[in-house]
Structure 1
């Protein structure tokens, strides 16, 4: 029988209250008592709106990723040139930008690292998010080629993969070393990739 939550509004409150918790502690590190504390609700109230803890984690990931994706898309959409749209994806990840992503780091990176060998549903959700981001950046590049802003022989998918890999790599280096020199060097590399596909 399909699970039906008691209240859509309560379900959303639970998601928002636990989004940061799951992003920081992960599914395995988050206990039911953590959920109760974060939401101010009883176990019965939580599980009246979610089938189990895994279901809360899935919804929290979706919330975190949609929030991050919206910030990136809005940032790109605020620019007219396709070069600046691409640069927005890079620059919004620099710590100095103070972009209000969910605390705890990139939800894609956090979720993939934890779920790779432990939870196929979470891994698949993260994969969907990553492929969506790749498609979005690929689209910007392809539109830039059509607008005669980028070189016609640009490998749009390959370039998108490079940019995302560098952004995620910069996040990994910053969180592990806390040394900005690696972040700056990596993001400068991403900017050079963008410069190199421009026609002028």
Structure 2
């Protein structure tokens, strides 16, 4: 890795948690220079603008959550097993998510507006891809006749994401992991009740 690439990676690693906690607006130049130990010139010599750095930090912050998604997709089993594994991943690592400032996807979605069109578009695209992945898990499992064929994959995916993200928001706001456990336990029940094959007498 070239020195310039190492410097960029270092800046992203140090600044990403600050952006996630304070947002693009709330993060000052002094925040960035303090946490990196670099000058303004060194930071903007590697990133054309604050928005460019924010985009790189957003992608960096997402990697941990994407890891959980792809691990759950890779396991053997039905959609119930895969999505249950994803919820369990979040339950096990909620402390890490909270310490890093909460879910970067949700934080960026709340903050982005016309002032940050590139980041807004990136957030929208990421949400769409996440929804597509979950929908695909459900559709594939229905194709294999592993789960309820009458479940609506699109509606299910929307509710799944809303419950998971909402659980993080409430728990982070109230500074109480118990809220997250309550919501995610309800989410596990939601998965089971909507996707399990109904046996009619």
TM-score range, shorter chain: 0.7 to 0.9
- Structure 2 distance, partners of 1:13, 1:178, is 29
Residue of structure 2 in register with 1:175 after alignment: 172
Give unmatched runs, 5+ long, in structure 2: none
Does the 8 A contact of 1:76 with 1:84 survive in 2?
no
Residue of structure 2 in register with 1:199 after alignment: 197
- Structure 1 distance, partners of 2:178, 2:93, is 17
Does the 8 A contact of 2:78 with 2:147 survive in 1?
no
Residue of structure 2 in register with 1:11 after alignment: 8
**Distance change (3 Å), C-alpha of 1:130 and 1:182:** same
Query: Number of aligned pairs?
Result: 193
Q: Could you say which structure has the higher helix fraction?
A: 2
Instruction: Provide TM-score, normalisation by structure 2.
Output: 0.86
Q: What's the secondary structure of 1:153's corresponding residue? A: coil
Residue of structure 2 in register with 1:113 after alignment: 110
- Structure 2 distance, partners of 1:191, 1:68, is 18
The within-5 A match list for 1:143-158 is 143-158=140-155
Give unmatched runs, 5+ long, in structure 1: 1-5
- Structure 2 distance, partners of 1:178, 1:34, is 24
Q: Alignment RMSD, CA only?
A: 2.0
- Report deviation, 1:36: 1.2
Alignment partner of 1:188 is 2:185: yes
- Report deviation, 1:157: 1.2
Alignment partner of 1:88 is 2:85: yes
